[in-house]
Amino acid sequence: MQRGQTGFTQAVISLWLLISGIRSQAADNMEGNAAASERPIRQSHSLCAGEEEYVHKRKQIVLQSLSTLEINCTADSVPHIALLASGGGQRAAVGLVGSLYQMEKEGLLDTVLYLGGVSGSTWSMASLYSDPEFSTNMDAAMSRLLDPSSVDLEQALVWLGERAKEEHFSLSDIWGVLTSAGIMKQMDLRHLSDEASRNATNPYPVYNAIEKNCHLQGPIKDKWFEVSPHEAGFTDLGLFIETSLLGSKFQNGELLEKKQEMDMVKLQGILGCALADEEAMKDFIPFRLNVPGYVDGAAKEYLRLWNILDKLITLTRPTVKDTVALTYLDELKEILEDRVNQSNSELLESARTEERKILLNQWSQEMLAAVDTWSQSLEDGAFKTHVSFLMRQVIPLMVKWKWGTTGNFLYQYQNSSVPDCLYSEERLQLMDAGLLINVPYPSFLGDKRDIDLIIAPEYSAGNMFETLTLARDYAAEVKKPFPEINDTILEDRDWPKDCYVFEGNEKEPTIIYMPLFNRQNCKGAEEFKAKMEEFSTFQRPFSQEKIEFVLETAKANVKNNKETLLREINKAALRRQNKRQEWL
């Protein structure tokens, strides 16, 4: 009896020790642990346990790096430095590799705690992070970019075929293949959540998107969506699930059906497709059809079809080695070219609105019929099987213009924090965050990640400084700290300097803003404009020379501004020390 009791007491004690052990491991974040089993949705404005742990480990690496740079710092006052890469298609994807490469060479990369990306920069982030230690091995990342192994078209088509059988197949899947296979030359089938258990050799990655429905009809705080190795969810609503559950079926906060986590190819497609926005369509109109005032319903549909098919060919072509397949693609290209010829344009211009509609509808039908005939004419074999299957799957998506759909974990979740734009939707429609702000500031402002210094290499097209002024307006609206941006900088818009520092006070981060093209590498406003055009966002994949040029430009920007970067990193360390002292 006594033995039994002792045994019981021991059991209680060891159970208690076990529990308290787990408790202290998970620190104060029992909430995060419980969520995995009971409540899959975490509602909070603080870090989840996993990110907290990662950041804690990463800080030891940052501390060591600061010590090597002879910057005074202690373990409890490591500054929070985030490198936030802008969008900008392949220019951004390549530019980011150049910036990070030079950061490593200057011994600055290991001072970075977080790496955040939008659109084009997420393509190269996905590729960089395929190496769990890229931060210490940027030479390898550089070689992968310059001398890529190419992707077999067959592999890409098989992947698409698999996606097409799934519930959430959308045009983003096609875009994912195009960017992965066509631009990054890699079909990366790993899952982002696999990175949750990595050591902290690399900065903590945060990928960003926006939700389409909320983007169209919600207030700004409903729109921003972030995905890290641990969690995916709405930044400003503070509603998250584990990343491995993104895409699963939910209702009223309950997990109904767990689906397989999306791979990096699919994620890339969702994050980097500005084409998903109908407004952005204007930029993709083939110039010969650019008749003013003509983009109405029928025209939109026609242009969608034309554009997607055109992009499909342009981006697939470099992956094709088989000469027969190449001939087929060129044939299809010709069929499309034919659809936007001069006489079509003239016909359209002279037609009245009603006639245009009929004409465009007729052209849509004809184009589809021509594509169909083309796919029937292919020689029997794998290429034909895949192509015909895809055409059957893809064309309805084009007509419905379906992008980035995935299961909505907030569907019918009865909680006051869920906005109308999400409550009754079974699906989320995630798309390119660059359509809102082309640099992922929203995820890095405010108390949650408490950033001291933001390094922002700017690879965006469009108006210089726009990402900054948009972020400033966003911050004002959601009441997050942001440094003062004096509008006089806008005078530099047509020919910006290579580096600007916007100094933050108290909770505001300091921002180092570094335009890719600038006064150092362009002789005047005219050359600046020409460079922006030469390296514009929407064009066929860059030639080797273009890739090398963007790399060298991005590298030089970091090299030329090393002193500024060091000075601001030093200041950030001092600030963190002061914050820490005020705290005590």
- Interface ranges with ligand NAG (CB under 6 A): 39, 43, 72, 132-133, 199, 201, 338-339, 341, 343-344, 415-417
Complex with ligand NAG: residue 14 or 199, whichever CB lies closer: 199
Contact yes or no for 516/459 (Cβ under 8 A): yes
Beta-ladder partners of 81: 453
Q: Which two tokens stand for residue 157?
A: 């088509």
How far, in Å, are 3, 60, 141, 453, 470 from residue 201 at the CA level? 50, 10, 15, 20, 32
CB of 61 to ligand NAG, least distance (A): 8
Q: Which two tokens stand for residue 33?
A: 């642990």
| Segments of 385-503 assigned E as strands | 405-407, 427-432, 453-458, 500-502
Would you give the DSSP letter of residue 426? Answer: S
Contact yes or no for 464/245 (Cβ under 8 A): no
Complex with ligand NAG: residue 340 or 431, whichever CB lies closer: 340
Would you give the DSSP letter of residue 79? Answer: -
CB of 478 to ligand NAG, least distance (A): 20
Complex with ligand NAG: residue 17 or 34, whichever CB lies closer: 34
CB of 238 to ligand NAG, least distance (A): 10
In angstroms, the CA 348 to CA 59 distance is 61
Complex with ligand NAG: residue 152 or 372, whichever CB lies closer: 372
CB of 143 to ligand NAG, least distance (A): 19
* Torsion of Cα atoms, 356 then 362 then 368 then 369, to 10°: -150
Contact yes or no for 541/318 (Cβ under 8 A): yes
Helices (H) and strands (E) counted in the chain, each on its own, are 20, 14
Complex with ligand NAG: residue 31 or 494, whichever CB lies closer: 31
Q: Which of 241, 342, 270, 277 is nearest to 123 (CA)?
A: 270
Q: Which two tokens stand for residue 37?
A: 């089993």
Q: State residue 284 phi and psi, 5-degree precision.
A: -105, 5
Complex with ligand NAG: residue 340 or 550, whichever CB lies closer: 340
Contact yes or no for 51/204 (Cβ under 8 A): yes
Complex with ligand NAG: residue 416 or 543, whichever CB lies closer: 416
Complex with ligand NAG: residue 201 or 393, whichever CB lies closer: 201
CB of 280 to ligand NAG, least distance (A): 25
In angstroms, the CA 262 to CA 192 distance is 8
Nearest 5°: CA angle at 265, between 98 and 36? 105
Complex with ligand NAG: residue 42 or 163, whichever CB lies closer: 42
CB of 570 to ligand NAG, least distance (A): 7
- Write b or e for each residue in 402-415: b if 16 or more Cβ atoms lie within 10 A of its Cβ, otherwise e: bbbbbbbbbbbbee
Complex with ligand NAG: residue 20 or 373, whichever CB lies closer: 373
Tell me how far apart the 2 most distant CA atoms of the chain are, in Å.
Answer: 102
In angstroms, the CA 65 to CA 219 distance is 41
